[in-house]
Amino acid sequence: VGFEPERRGSHPYLGVDFRTLHSLCNREALLFSFQRHLLSSRLLRGVPHLNPLHILDEDYCGQAKCMLEKVGSWNFDIFLFDRLTNGNSLVFLTFHLLNQYGLIELFQLDMVKLRRFLVLVQEDYHNQNPYHNAVHAADVTQAMHCYLREPKLAQSLTSFDILLGLLAAATHDLDHPGVNQPFLIKTNHYLAALYRNTSVLENHHWRSAVGLLRETELFSHLPVEDSLSIERQLGSLILATDISRQNEYLSRFRTHLDENDLCLGHASHRHFVLQMALKCADICNPCRPWELSKQWSEKVTEEFFHQGDIEKKHKLEISPLCDSEANTIASVQIGFMTYVVEPLFAEWVRFSDTRLSQTMLGHLGLNKASWSALEPEASGSSEEGESEPGRATEEPSSRALSQGSQES
């Protein structure tokens, strides 16, 4: 078994009737209130007939194509690209990259099936999530592309690895509900039960991706062992994005780097490096230029606070980082950078000390300084004021950040 795909759109959107949730305290009923919405979730989400690809204004299309010439640039503005493609950044970008790497030809991918697959992937992201939407997936895919081109990887990765890396990036948050795992667990969501409270979201993203691969028969022309291998490796890559398991991956990475024993001739080592690359791509927002980075920070915080508002409204315990009265964008970002992003990228730079890596570290430092300037208390130089001095300098625990499960 192992790879049971999930049905598409099986995710109850948060447009669930929370009055039901509020008025019922018994757990059975709680579960039921979510599941009742299961079948209609796609409708509730208002998944539109896809933004028509064909009616793109030629001029916009020309500008989007022009942008793709610089798809390997770290300054690539995915927000602009998404506007120029009329909200189809994930489809256009992923298609372009697969084509550019020669993967469509090499794996003899059927254009109709591929197009359908990519459209369905994009559609299964929730547009109304401020952060975990198709633009985030496109952004992670673009970052992944930048990492795949780094010399150490470019020299050793096979076409199969590249195909997996890009597909994993494009699907890594598929059908994300816009709330985190602790929320799903405490509301007795069926996904929490299905995946036994463990990497609940990541398992769902993976199984949803497998569901789409099977539905579109994208790899049905390959030997069964190969398509099963794709499904399995896709899972292993997507599961690595579970932020609560970051320390596990990080210490393995650190050990390899200390012992200098990564041998990229070995498939298992290449796979591990792909996992690390995807993890970096997933949380690289703070390493982008300020103008891009800032927008992501606002979006992710909006999503957290939205969850916090729901928790408040329904008298559930408010998750770490989700209380808009106790956190600010700056404080959330500074904690995230310090406890999650910096440790990861410090190791990545040891692995791949390139111009790109130095650029990323440069932005990370500048962005952190910018947030600190906006949030003097969080950096410790607090004036005595409305906030209690003890709390002001309190460091958010990395556990809280993990639970916040930012950008995973």
Ligand X SMILES: *[C@@H]1O[C@H](CO)[C@@H](O)[C@H](O)[C@H]1NC(C)=O
Instruction: List all residues 6 or more positions away from 390 whose beta carbon is below 8 Å from its beta carbon.
Output: none
Binders in 21-80 for Zn ion, by CB under 5 A:
none
Give me the least distance between CB of 291 and ligand X, in Å please.
41
Q: Select the residue interacting with Zn ion from 6, 161, 202, 282 (CB under 5 A).
A: 282
Q: Cα(107)–Cα(126) distance, rounded to whole angstroms?
A: 30
173 binds, among Zn ion, ligand X, none (CB under 5 to 8 A by kind): Zn ion
196 binds, among Zn ion, ligand X, none (CB under 5 to 8 A by kind): ligand X
Q: Which one of 11, 37, 126, 132 is the catalytic residue?
A: 132
* Binding partner of residue 251 among Zn ion, ligand X, none, CB cut-off 5 to 8 Å per kind: none
The reply to whether 242 sits near Zn ion by the rule CB under 5 A is no
Give the Cβ contact number of residue 44 at 10 Å: 16
Report the interhelical angle of 159-171 vs 89-100 (nearest 10°). 180
Q: What is the DSSP letter of 130?
A: S
Nearer to ligand X, 192 or 310 (CB): 192
C-alpha–C-alpha distance, residues 302 and 306, integer Å: 6
Are 280 and 272 spatial neighbours (Cβ–Cβ below 8 Å)?
A: no
Residue 393 gets which letter from DSSP? T
Q: Looking only at residues 157 through 196 of this chain, which bind Zn ion when binding is defined by CB under 5 A?
A: 173
Cβ proximity to ligand X: between 38 and 185 the closer is 185
| Residue 47 CB neighbours (<10 A) | 17
On whether the CB atoms of residues 103 and 167 are closer than 8 A, the answer is no
Q: Which stretch in 68-76, 118-126, 159-167, 279-287 sits in contact with Zn ion by CB under 5 A? A: 279-287
Of 171 and 331, which has the nearer Cβ to Zn ion?
Answer: 171
Q: Give the residue from 272, 241, 278 showing the smallest Cα distance to 167.
A: 278
Q: Of 189 and 205, which CB lies nearer to ligand X in the complex structure? A: 189
> Which residue shows structure tokens 């209609």?
40
Residues that bind ligand X (CB under 6 A): 185, 192, 196-197
Active-site residue, 363 included: no
Dig out the tokens for 253 from the structure: 């990475």
Residues annotated within a binding site = 132-136, 172-173, 282, 333
Question: Which residues are part of the catalytic machinery?
Answer: 132
Residues annotated within a binding site for Zn(2+) = 136, 172-173, 282
Q: Point out which residues bind Zn ion (CB under 5 A).
A: 173, 282
